[in-house]
Amino acid sequence: MVDHRAKNPIQHGGNQANIRARLKLGNRPLLDFSAPLNALGPPPVALAAVRAATETIDRYPEPNSPRLVERLAEFHGVPTDQIIVGAGTTELINLIGQMVRETAGRRRRSFGVPKPPAAHLIEPSYGEYRRTSAQNGMRTKIWDEHVLGWAQETFPEGKRGVFWTGHPNNPSGRAWDRTRLLNLVDRSPSLMTVVDEAYLPFLPDEAKRTLIGATSTRDNLIVLRSMTKIYAFPGLRIGYAVASPDIVAMLRRSQQPWTVTTAAEVAAIAAVDDSDYLRRTVELIRTESARLTERLWDLPGLRPLWPGRQRPSFAPPMANFVVCSLIDTPWTSPQLQDALARRGIFVRECSNYRGLEIGSVVTGPGQAHHTRGHLRFCVRNPAENDLLVETLADVMASESVLLRSREEVPVLSGFRRWRLRAR
């Protein structure tokens, strides 16, 4: 069944204008922990390239960003005809949805296949996968998996349609074992597997986990990369996909001209060349993700989204964000998000991720925890991460008494909405 509600625009992190207007914060400074961007900020060489690009705003960008494609092909060691650049991975996700729909339409006309294609998902995951699938008339199939876990395991082996998966996944942070995932891809030739590696460059073992090198010999594999996240320039909107030449050609046929600006292209080229920036990024995340998570474990009412505090050696490295459940606390995630914003800290409230709604139960092997919502924190520099933890501790301890005067009652229909009722 096609989920028509999923066609609606969804909430994302980083929307400061919305929370400022809703809470009447005006121009008060907000430290943004809501969007998982590189804590180092944009590379200086990229900023310089953007400034220089203002001299060319009287000319159209070159279609298909050939200079950036050539540089990315060199960077990843693949031919140029395997790369397509777009205005962020969101545009590319949409192009993939169109491609799957059109391919299924041709099969339906030729062979009389009665059903629309299936979109296979493991949730919680990035909401644009489901939205794009619904916009392109796909049936949504959700595969059950424990929310609490160290790595990703579930795969719709042998199915048809498209399988969307993050690597690591947003918001859980779990990554795939490369060998296992490739074996599953190879055993499912009729399934288009889309591996979103938007956050993989933050991991120290990226080189042994990425599937980019496997795309040249497979027509059922697409790898997505976001330059927004790793280089911290979301305002430029740029990402790319790596796939077989035939898939790239099909995607390019549906792409509108000039979706990537000249400024975005030159900034991306400059950023890719800054190897020292990537090295410093990986080192920062290696140390700060673990340290921030440890400190969050010490806060009563917060539980980082893992099976346990001790991380085993086989678990993938941590991403540049941490999701926490609210457990055994009077706070709900929307209340805590608002309270932190009034203290100058903006975090991601996660109740619009399916499976992380207020009142949801998160499960793992032998575990089940009733939650009052979830918050996601991106990893910033040490001083800012310490400020986050200290403010969380202060807010949750000093203001929780205000919440005890009212009770939250779950509404079981719809998306488990909650209403406030005075005692």
Indicate the pLDDT class of residue 4, thresholds 50, 70 and 90.
low
Q: Which of 85-99, 364-378, 406-420 has the lowest mean pLDDT?
A: 406-420
Give the residue-averaged pLDDT of 85-95.
97
Measured CA angle at 343 (ends 235, 126), to 5 deg: 40
Q: Are 323 and 374 in contact (CB under 8 A)?
A: yes
Give the residue-averaged pLDDT of 55-63.
92
pLDDT tens digits along 368-402: 999 999 999 999 999 999 999 999 999 999 865 55
- What ranges in 355-399 are assigned the alpha helix state H? 382-398
Q: How far apart are the C-alpha atoms of 175 and 318, rounded to whole Å?
A: 9
| pLDDT at position 106 | 73
Strands (DSSP E) contained in 122-243 are 139-142, 161-166, 191-196, 221-226, 239-242
Residue 104 has pLDDT above 50, yes or no: yes
Whose CA is closest to 377, among 350, 348, 353, 352? 348
Give the residue-averaged pLDDT of 144-170.
95
| pLDDT at position 411 | 36
| pLDDT at position 407 | 45
Indicate the pLDDT class of residue 107, thresholds 50, 70 and 90.
low
Indicate the pLDDT class of residue 5, thresholds 50, 70 and 90.
low
Residue 275 has pLDDT above 70, yes or no: yes
Domain boundaries, the chain: 4-41+277-422, 44-272
| pLDDT at position 413 | 32
Which percentage of the chain shows pLDDT scores above 90?
86
Strands 367-370, 361-364: parallel, antiparallel or unpaired by DSSP? antiparallel
pLDDT tens digits along 167-221: 999 999 999 999 999 999 999 999 999 999 999 999 999 999 999 999 999 999 9
Give the residue-averaged pLDDT of 140-166.
95
| Torsion sign (Cα): 121, 35, 280, 269 | positive
Cross-strand partners of 374: 325
Q: How far apart are the C-alpha atoms of 321 and 199, rounded to whole Å?
A: 9
Which residue do the tokens 């005890």 mark?
404
Mean pLDDT computed over every residue of the chain: 91
Amino acid at 374: H
Indicate the pLDDT class of residue 2, thresholds 50, 70 and 90.
low
**Which residues are within 8 A (CB) of 64 and not within 5 positions of it... i.e. 6 or more apart?**
84, 85, 252
Q: What Rg do the C-alpha atoms of the chain give, in angstroms? A: 22
Q: Are 239 and 86 in contact (CB under 8 A)?
A: yes
Q: How far apart are the C-alpha atoms of 128 and 131, rounded to whole Å?
A: 5
| pLDDT at position 113 | 60
Kindly state the DSSP code that residue 91 receives in the 8-state scheme. H
Assign domain 44-272 to a CATH class. Answer: alpha beta
Give the residue-averaged pLDDT of 337-341.
97
Q: Per CATH, is 4-41+277-422 categorized as 3.90.1150.10?
A: yes
* Strand ordering across the sheet containing 139-142: 83-86, 239-242, 221-226, 191-196, 161-166, 118-121, 139-142
Higher pLDDT, 132 or 414: 132
- What ranges in 14-87 are assigned the alpha helix state H? 16-23, 44-53, 66-76
Q: How far is CA 109 from CA 92, 102, 114, 139, 359, in A?
A: 26, 11, 9, 18, 45
Q: Are 167 and 176 in contact (CB under 8 A)?
A: yes
Q: Is the peptide bond between 171 and the residue preceding it cis, with omega within 30 degrees of 0?
A: yes
Question: Could you count the other beta carbons within 10 Å of the beta carbon of residue 225?
Answer: 27
Q: How far apart are the C-alpha atoms of 279 and 286, rounded to whole Å?
A: 11
Q: How far apart are the C-alpha atoms of 350 and 129, rounded to whole Å?
A: 16
Give the residue-averaged pLDDT of 293-300.
97
- CB burial of residue 65 (10 Å; 0-12, 13-18, 19+): buried
**For the residues of 244-303, what is the DSSP string, one character each?**
-HHHHHHHHHHPPTT-S-HHHHHHHHHHHT-HHHHHHHHHHHHHHHHHHHHHHHTSTTEE
